[in-house]
Amino acid sequence: MTEVLDDAAVDRELATRDGWSRSGSSLTRTWQFKGFGGAMQFANVIAWIANQSGHHPDIAVHDYNRVTVTSTTHDVGGITEHDFALIGRIDDRTREF
């Protein structure tokens, strides 16, 4: 079973990630787009990545042109290596946005 990372490990990993922050026991990031279509296209890419990864974050499209992704490992109630692996895949795949 995957274990929750301690605060120091989370902080070390976050220091290497642009735009991501901790929100309680989750990792979160918000992107802004020119319009609703771009936000929805981006959200669909995130959904595809999540399905391929088998790790499913919360994806919120809000304020017309913003997407917020929040990742936690629900099974253990905190941030794990699975969350950092997922946000790494998200970052790699979404740089063109």
Could you read off the pLDDT of 5-37 as tens digits, one per residue? 999 999 999 999 999 999 999 999 999 999 999
Nearest to 35 by CA among 77, 66, 8, 11: 66
* Structure confidence at residue 1 (pLDDT): 66
Say yes or no to pLDDT of 96 above 90: no
For the stretch 55-66, what's the b/e string if a residue is b when 16 or more beta carbons lie within 10 angstroms of its beta carbon?
bebebeeeeebe
Say yes or no to pLDDT of 94 above 90: no
- What mean pLDDT is predicted for residues 31-56? 97
Say yes or no to pLDDT of 64 above 70: yes
CATH number of 7-94: 3.30.1360.20
Q: Are 57 and 70 in contact (CB under 8 A)?
A: yes
| Range in 1-5, 57-61, 66-70 with the lowest mean pLDDT | 1-5
